[in-house]
Amino acid sequence: MVGGRVGEGSASDRGVLDGVDLVVVGAGLYGLTVAQQAAERARARVLVIDVRGHIGGNAYSSMDERTGAEIHRYGAHLFHTSNPRVWDYVNRFTSFTRYTHRVYTTHRGEVYPLPINLGTINQFFHAHYTPRQAKELIAGQAGELAGSDPSNLNDKGVSLIGRPLYEAFIKNYTAKQWDTDPADLPAGIIKRLPVRFDYDNRYFKDTWEGLPVDGYTAWMRRMAADPLIRVQLDTDFFDASQPVNRDAVVGRVPVVYTGPVDRYFDYALGDLKWRTVDFDEVRYPEADHYGCPVMNFADPDTPYTRAIEFKNFNPERRSSQNPGETVVWRESSRAAGRGDEPYYPVNTAADRALYHRYAAKAGEEPGVVFGGRLGTYAYYDMHQVINSALVAYDKRIHPMLTRTDGQ
């Protein structure tokens, strides 16, 4: 049981929408935020469906019994925000640890801190530059690209951080991430490459940061705990053999759809391109293998982009973890097919143009709101997903649920 009226499996073939005011497709952060707001603010009876067998979308986590580590099943999820509304909202359902995210990268057998900061620069150049000297160095190493606005990722990277640092830490990592020469990738993929001219190696600079004290899944369950919310798992919105399907639902009750926008329209205009992520699990007979939660691998001869050691996200749980074993997931990226989990939108000019055509069709769907990263072909951090759901509820969904004109 997830919430007050939560069940798994198929709904009854008869009267499936009886007493349902809103159908939410997708039990991830966007869908659960909308469902919670609809139940609380409009006293709407909400049916949430998900094709997976769990709630939480890509933020779903579960405990590894052998090590006591909380496994982020779809890759590392770190919560951070500077948005007061989002921070106040999420603290209604969970408290957060004092975790501060720091990332390290291995390059030619040596470990460096990321994002690139004064420590990275001085270690890389075996120097002791002051902030002023480091700024002058980086500007000089950008050469003729300094201050320019290149259209490809390779030149954009050089213009921002200089050629030596870019080629050491960004170029090959990015080539592995996208399986493409960075010279052939659009500059927009890296809108900014932060270089800090001090020794601050915090990955995020938001006002608030942390991990949910008792895990992501417990947080999501509390969001769905209102008795007006019913969650139905293992339910494919496009399976006409079960009653909660697109053709049977759309037009009968308002729908919030958080799946792939091209799938909603049966790929009628073509497939939007995504990257997906594969994980290779490795276990080590030791308490701690990397000494940090995330280790990047910047060199081309390492096939994976990074390794995630889950124990290190929760040092406060050490007493309940197995000191004799640790679990690591090594992450690599490839092009996503229709049967894969889409993670990162490729976002070439052609893909953006195709998405805008789908968005135009989405705007004409009666009583359907498209949201989330899949529904809007965008990459969002968790706080951005929640904020977009709160805004969409305010502006579009609440008015649909509280109309008094009889339509």
The yes-or-no answer on residue 331 being catalytic is yes
Same-domain status, 246 and 360? yes
For residue 391, being part of any structural domain is answered with yes
**Which tokens in the block code for residue 228?**
């007006």
**Same domain assignment for residues 121 and 179:** yes
pLDDT of residue 8: 35
Looking at the fold, whether 84 and 146 belong to one and the same domain comes out as: no
DSSP 75: B
Asked whether residue 107 falls in the same domain as residue 169, the answer is yes
Concatenate the DSSP letters of all residues of 78-116 into one string.
Answer: -EEE--HHHHHHHTTT--B------EEEEETTEEEEES-
* pLDDT at res. 192: 64
Active-site residue, 104 included: no
306 has catalytic annotation:
yes
* 14 catalytically annotated: no
User: In this predicted structure, what is the pLDDT of residue 48?
Assistant: 98
For 356-379, write each residue's pLDDT tens digit: 999 999 999 999 999 999 999 999
Q: The dihedral of CA 259, 276, 373, 386: what is its sign?
A: positive
Within a domain: 113: yes
User: Which tens digits make up the pLDDT trace of 118-156?
Assistant: 999 999 999 999 999 999 999 999 888 887 888 888 998
CA distances from 4 to 56, 63, 214, 293 (A): 17, 24, 20, 35
Is 41 an annotated catalytic residue? no
28 forms bridges with which residues in the sheet? none
Among the options 45, 221, 263, 306, which is catalytic? Answer: 306
Q: Which two tokens stand for residue 137?
A: 């160095």
The reply to whether omega before 315 is within 30° of 0 (cis) is no
- What confidence score (pLDDT) does residue 14 get? 41
Catalytic residue selected from 221, 222, 275, 330? 275
Pick the catalytic residue from 234, 236, 381, 396.
Answer: 381
- Total domains in the chain come to 2
Known active-site residue 230? no
Reference 222, options 20, 404, 39, 381; nearest CA is: 39
Q: State residue 5's pLDDT score.
A: 37
Which regions in the chain score pLDDT beneath 50? 1-14, 405-407
Choosing from 65, 192, 247, 266, the catalytic residue is: 192
Which residue among the candidates 331, 351, 355, 358 is catalytic per the annotation?
Answer: 331
* 380 lies in some domain: yes
Domain enclosing residue 67, as ranges: 22-96+211-269+344-402
Q: What's the pLDDT at 10?
A: 39
**Same domain? 126 vs 248:** no
Co-location of 121 and 183 in the same domain = yes
Which member of 196, 230, 246, 263 is catalytic? Answer: 196
What's the confidence (pLDDT) of residue 195?
A: 86
Instruction: Answer yes or no: do 110 and 178 share one domain.
Output: yes
318 is catalytic: no
pTM of the model: 0.92
Q: Which of 157, 189, 221 is the last residue of a domain?
A: 189
